Structure 1
Amino acid sequence: MLCYFFIVGLIFLFVEKENRFIRFHALQSVFLGVALIIISMVLPFIPIIGWMLSIWLPLLVLALVVFLMYQAYNGKYYKLPLLGDITEKQLK
């Protein structure tokens, strides 16, 4: 569950070598953090729609992270649509 705090996800990724569940959620959180940084940098340059989405982005990110934390707490491998597949490929 703690993996979804961006920096903590990096720590878990480097510290945990054997538990696939923890490594999956740590790596997915790192990919999510990188994707969100890129999205937050691009959105302000898109007229009108980008500006409106950039206002709502923090609330959407908070809801997504809380949902992912809940899924991890319950012991579920919840894969995000694109990032989950990339995460599984990296863990093999």
Structure 2
Amino acid sequence: MATREPDEPTGGQLAGGPDDGTAGQTRTDEVRAATGTGLDPNQGAAIAYLLGALTAVLVLVLEDDEFVRFHAVQSIALTVVAVGAYVVLGVVTTVFAFVPLIGGLFVALFAIVSLLIGLAGFGVWLFAMYQAYSGEWFEFPIVGGFARRY
């Protein structure tokens, strides 16, 4: 059986000693107070991404924690960007569909682009949920700055 030094951190105990003020604290001591719904802030922030703008608006209305609200606003902004990208792609696809002889080729090309955008969006969605649940203030380019100001 392996032995450990007496002042080595165990389980959820933080490293440190009496000099740095962390003696006896556990990781759960670090977690901020529960939010208005009784969820931990990281759970509320992850839920904000769960169904895009739908859960983000709900979380934004129910929560007053700054971390949770940041992720809710960022989720709304990401949803608006994703929907906007699909609308633009749909309009462009419709316009090019009527081009004689090569319209079908453009439609096939835009279908592939649409699939790639969807896969990328799914990856961004998973990454955002993971970052929020991990307690990170991760900002996406452009929309993160908007969310920070709100």
In which range does the TM-score fall when normalised by the shorter chain?
0.7 to 0.9
Q: Does 1:8 align with 2:55?
A: yes
How many percent of aligned residue pairs carry the same amino acid?
A: 28
Q: Which of structure 1's runs of 4+ aligned residues deviate more than 2 A? A: none
Distance in 1 (CA, whole Å) between partners of 2:128 and 2:115 is: 22
The answer for unaligned runs of 5 or more in structure 1 is none
Question: If each structure's helix is expressed as a fraction of its own residues, which one has the higher value?
Answer: 1
| TM-score, scaled to structure 1 | 0.87
Distance in 1 (CA, whole Å) between partners of 2:59 and 2:115 is: 31
Distance in 2 (CA, whole Å) between partners of 1:58 and 1:39 is: 10
CA deviation profile, 1:4-30 (whole Å, cap 9, x unmatched): 02211110011112x100000001000
| 2:73 corresponding residue in structure 1 | 27
Matched to 2:124, the amino acid is: L
| 1:59 corresponding residue in structure 2 | 119
The structure with higher relative contact order (CA 8 Å, sep 6+) is 1
| 1:89 corresponding residue in structure 2 | 149
| TM-score, scaled to structure 2 | 0.55
Distance in 1 (CA, whole Å) between partners of 2:149 and 2:134 is: 23
Matched length:
89
Deviation at 1:61, TM superposition (A): 0.8
CA deviation profile, 1:49-71 (whole Å, cap 9, x unmatched): x7132121111111000001110
| 1:36 corresponding residue in structure 2 | 82
Deviation at 1:43, TM superposition (A): 1.4
The answer for unaligned runs of 5 or more in structure 2 is 1-45, 97-105
Distance in 2 (CA, whole Å) between partners of 1:53 and 1:81 is: 21
Distance in 2 (CA, whole Å) between partners of 1:75 and 1:89 is: 19
3-state DSSP of counterpart to 1:55: helix
Distance in 2 (CA, whole Å) between partners of 1:70 and 1:33 is: 17
